[in-house]
Amino acid sequence: AAIAPDERLGVAKPHQRYLPKGTVGRQAAQAVVVDYSSPNLAKEMHVGHLRSTIIGDALARTLEFLGHNVKRQNHVGDWGTQFGMLVAFMDRVREGGDTEDLSRELADLEELYRKAKHLFDTDPDFANTARENVVKLQSGDENCQIRWLNYTAVSLLHCEKVYGRLGVMLKRDDIRGESEYNDDLPEVVADLEKAGLLTESQGAQCVFLDEFRNKDNEPLPVIVKKTDGGYLYATTDLAAIRYRVGELHAERILYVTDSRQALHFRQIFAVARKAGFAPESVLLEHVPFGMMLDKGGQPFKTREGGTVKLTDLLDEAERQAIGLVNAKNPDLPDEQKREIAEKVGIGAVKYADLSQNRTSDYVFSWDKMLSLDGNTAPYMQYAYARIQSIFRKGDESTDYTEKKSTNYTNFLIEDPAERALAVKLLQFAETVEAVASECLPNLLCGYLFDLAGAFTTFYESCPVLKSPEPTRSSRLALCAATGRTIRTGLGLLGIETVEQM
Ligand code: ARG
């Protein structure tokens, strides 16, 4: 009975949680940095950014719910070769006497990027100019910087549109892109030198660590400064660790990226430890995930073989969800159908991703994610809507989810199905804790799916509204606790519920 009147559904705040057996004292709230989404800004957001954005957001929400002090960091790639490429391309367009105005080119950043990339790959002169531009940009050349500001501004607006549609909590203030670490990079290299970690190899400044070797057992370098003076992804990440530890006082840092970056993170974590940028007390965790595959098991692409733009994918999700709502509830007014479809469609895409063990590749299938039976968002949303309808039918208030409601608190557990449901409800807190400590949102999806199953069994064998008191109230209390748990759980995953479907 402890769960029902408690708005946190039995989930304790950190200072209320005892440490594991054998240790003394209580847990403290942790300052946790969650680095997620972090797209490269020269292009539009595409499906490659989806998993990091969705998984990272769910983890940040969960950690926050547990009472930790979460700092979201959007480490956008706003500083690499791609920008040198774009500047070089625009220069070439101008030289060709083509005075197309800048804003028109920027309107389709994607197209611009494609053209520039093609030249970069096929024309060595162009590639050289592009590389020179990167160095110019990084050393403060004004012309390059103005152009760069334009590209990033347009690109950020686009990202924010996608975040808005996805209901992702990243804000402008959470953006700290690669460029912001530019001034720290010489110092990072100097400190590595001071720590005796730097070696020159073929003109480049490198850190060699014994534990990293290639398959021929030769030591692998972490290059921190190239021969031409340019800095690298790794250098920026080392600067970012210093900032997160020194300025954000992070005690735990999560990096949500695809698993192909595993070696990169192992290397920079090791360098950061050796150089004293991150003391052992600070947890550094790469949270890797697999690829999104199509039904044939190939990387997810458009029919023409291009990368799928996120806006297109989300449009399609809503279109498909309208079909589902039409089939379920054809008589709803159109406006309401659209609203439901938006929540169901976006929810389906997010849930399909989150319900997989993130470390494996997963097959993206509209049919599967929009199915009403199975571990899907529509199934969970439907389970919630059904509970709401019980309250509506019984003329009971449906706002039991609000904290003010303490009406449904008297439990009388008799039937085995009631017991099974109550036991499930009590497992919510430990599930949320496990999601946060292991960074596995699929544990929460699995839990919610089981909970909905236990509810169905209960509802089939135990009449609610037609039972005499006090059974009726007790069963309503079980319905209310289930509804709140589903709603809260989906909320931690960044998925909205609907009142009817
Ligand atoms: N911009 C990178 C990419 O698109 C991801 C950055 C992840 N975060 C980090 N601190 N390295 O692959």
- Residues forming beta bridges with residue 253, ordered by sequence position: 33, 284
What confidence tens digit (pLDDT) does each residue in 93-119 have?
Answer: 777 655 555 556 656 777 888 889 999
Strand-strand pairing, 204-213 and 198-201: antiparallel
What is the CA(304)–ligand 1 centre distance, in A?
Answer: 27
For the Cβ of 347 lying below 6 angstroms from any atom of ligand 1, the answer is no
Q: Is 240 in the pocket of ligand 1 (CB under 6 A)?
A: yes
Our answer on whether the CB atom of 74 is closer than 6 Å to any ligand 1 atom is: no
Q: Output the CA–CA distances (angstroms, integers) from residue 152 to 158, 180, 196, 355, in the order listed.
A: 10, 13, 37, 33
Q: Which residues have CB under 8 Å from 370's CB, separation 6+?
A: 320, 321, 324, 344, 345, 348, 376, 378
Backbone torsions φ then ψ of 305, nearest 5 degrees: 90, 5
User: Which residue minimizes the CA distance to atom 5 of ligand 1?
Assistant: 38
Tokens representing residue 76 in the block = 């956008």
Ligand 1 atom showing the smallest separation from residue 258 Cα: 12
Among 261, 263, 264, 277, which is best to mutate for testing ligand 1, by the most ligand atoms less than 8 A from CB?
261
- Segment 352-399, tens digit of pLDDT: 999 999 999 989 999 999 999 899 999 999 999 999 999 999 877 666
Distance 195 CA to ligand 1 centre (A): 26
Strands of 283-289's sheet, edge to edge?
69-73, 31-35, 252-258, 283-289
User: If you take atom 7 of ligand 1, which residue's CA is the nearest one?
Assistant: 38
The Cα 163–Cα 74 span in angstroms is 12
> What is the distance between the alpha carbons of residues 236 and 222, in angstroms, rounded to a whole number?
12
Q: Which of 33, 37, 38 to mutate to test the pocket of ligand 1 (most atoms within 8 A of CB)?
A: 38
> What pLDDT was estimated at residue 174?
97
Ligand 1 centroid – CA 329 distance (Å): 43
Q: 441 C-alpha vs ligand 1 centroid, how far in Å?
A: 21
Q: Could you tell me the distance, in angstroms and rounded to a whole number, from the CA of residue 37 to the centre of ligand 1?
A: 8
- Can you tell me whether residue 72 is helix, strand or coil? strand
As a whole number of angstroms, the distance between CA 201 and CA 199 comes to: 6
Cβ distance 321 to 341 under 8 Å? yes
Alpha carbons within 13 A on the beta-carbon side of 463: 6
289 in Cβ contact with 55 (< 8 Å): yes
User: In this structure, which amino acid lies at residue 60?
Assistant: A
Q: Please tell me the predicted confidence (pLDDT) of residue 135.
A: 85
Coil, helix or strand at residue 7: coil
DSSP string covering 203-228: TEEEEEEEEEE-TTSPEEEEEEE-TT
H or E element at residue 292: strand 292-293
* Ligand 1 atom 9 nearest Cα: 75
239 within ligand 1 shell (Cβ under 6 A): no
Name the CA radius of gyration of the chain, rounded.
26
How confident is the model at residue 35, as a pLDDT?
Answer: 98
How far, in Å, from the CA of 194 to the mean position of ligand 1? 27
CB of 255 sitting under 6 A from ligand 1: yes
The CA distances from residue 241 to 63, 269, 279, in Å, are 20, 9, 11
Give me the tens of pLDDT residue by residue for the chain, a chain 501 residues long: 455 556 677 787 766 665 555 555 556 789 999 999 999 988 788 888 899 999 999 999 999 999 999 999 999 999 888 888 888 888 887 776 555 555 566 567 778 888 899 999 999 999 999 989 988 888 889 988 888 888 888 889 889 999 999 999 999 999 999 999 999 999 999 999 999 999 999 999 999 998 999 889 889 999 999 998 888 999 999 999 999 999 999 999 999 999 999 999 999 999 999 999 999 999 999 999 999 998 888 888 887 777 788 888 999 999 999 999 998 889 999 999 999 999 999 999 999 999 999 999 989 999 999 999 899 999 999 999 999 999 999 877 666 655 445 567 788 899 999 999 999 999 999 999 999 999 999 999 999 999 999 999 999 999 999 999 999 989 999 999 999 999 999 999 999 999 988
- Atom 4 (ligand 1) nearest CA: 39
User: Is 216 buried (19+), middle (13-18) or exposed (0-12) by CB count in 10 A?
Assistant: exposed
Probe residue for ligand 1, chosen from 33, 47, 75 as the CB with the greatest number of ligand atoms within 8 Å: 75
d(CA 30, CA 251): 6
Which residue's alpha carbon is nearest to atom 11 within ligand 1?
237
Quote the crossing angle between the two packed helices 471-492 and 428-438, to the nearest 10°.
10
Dist CA 398 CA 352 (whole Å): 28
Sheet holding 198-201, edge to edge: 198-201, 204-213, 219-225
| φ, ψ for residue 284, nearest 5 deg | -115, 120
Indicate whether residue 286 lines ligand 1 (CB < 6 A): no
The Cα 31–Cα 440 span in angstroms is 19
Ligand 1 touching residue 237 (CB < 6 A): yes
Q: Is 77 in the pocket of ligand 1 (CB under 6 A)?
A: yes
Using the mean position of ligand 1's atoms as its centre, give its distance from the Cα of residue 32 in Å.
Answer: 18
- Atom number in ligand 1 closest to CA 257: 7
Query: What is the CA(238)–ligand 1 centre distance, in A?
Result: 13
Distance 344 CA to ligand 1 centre (A): 29
The tokens of 499 are what? 């009142």
